[in-house]
Chains A and B, each alone.
Chain A
Amino acid sequence: MLTISRAILDAIVSHARRDHPDEACGVVTGPAGSDTPTRHIPMDNVERSQTFYRFDPAEQLRVWREMDDRDEEPVVIYHSHTATEAYPSRTDVSFAGEPGAHYLLVSTREQDVTEVRSFRILDGVVTEEPVKLVGVPADGDAVQSYMFGQSPVAVDYECR
């Protein structure tokens, strides 16, 4: 299961919406071994493509070094699909190189509802996992609604 704060998820979704129709990508780091994502780092999609993303190799080196210095690891690696569902493509699976990370996919194909799903990708095998939101949203009046893979219906942000 991925446990993530609403504030960070909101920031990820905002990033994906901002870059739409291009794919957005980034990482959320956390203390090594904690499995807790705490520091959101939007990354540059050097491909600036609607169907492909790649971290800028120079930026990635800088961010990965910084993680090392802070004794952090990549807890969440996220990207958006802008015209298809939030499910890993064959390309996503082939490139998945962080065995400890939660691969979070956000689909921005619908304007009003954002699909958010999380996966483990190990040795080419995709396993979906539940997403648990914790904490209050940064903006208490958020009207964004999310649809999670395990949820039969949209989770409305305003209903608490």
Chain B
Amino acid sequence: MAIEVRIPTILRTYTAGAKTVDGSGDTLADLLTDLDGRHSGLRGRLITQEGALHKFVNVYVNDEDVRFLGSLDAKLNDGDTVTILPAVAGGALGLLAAAAMLGR
């Protein structure tokens, strides 16, 4: 099952500069495990030590933010496109408070 994954500039060091890579999996979690086999370290940039999707990234399945699709449990189908983008966020607020706001 082929799923196209679009990689942002900041993570292309893990894909030898490739903008898109192919992967497979029934869920987003499976896909990231599959990708990590060929692009070692990529998964670690997207998933926290606690095993949740990182707040610093946005992941979309086709047009939908995975936060509305069950996050790492989001179901994937053949032909889907998964897009990874760095979240663009910041501000004068302290880091811990900012991370808490994103976690809502």
Contact = CB atoms under 8 A, between A and B. Distances in A.
Contacts, number: 105
A75 to B, nearest CB: 12
A92 interface: yes
Interface stretch (A9-17, A82-90, A129-137): A82-90
A99 B9 contact: yes
Q: Determine which residue in B9, B10, B67, B88 has the highest number of CB atoms from chain A within 10 A of its CB, and name it.
A: B88
Interface of B, helix, strand, loop or mixed by DSSP: mixed
Task: Report which residue of B8, B90, B93 has the largest number of chain A beta carbons within 10 angstroms of its beta carbon.
Answer: B90
B95 A60 contact: no
B60 A89 contact: no
Contacts of A125: none
Contact of A95 (B63, B67, B87): B87
Nearest to A73: B9
B72 to A, nearest CB: 16
Contact of A99 (B10, B60, B89, B94): B10
A159 interface: no
Given A25-B88, A52-B97, A95-B89, 6 more contacts: A52-B93, A53-B89, A54-B102, A61-B83, A89-B90, A95-B88
Interface of A: 23, 25, 27, 43, 47, 49-55, 57-58, 60-61, 64-65, 73, 77, 79, 81-84, 88-92, 94-100
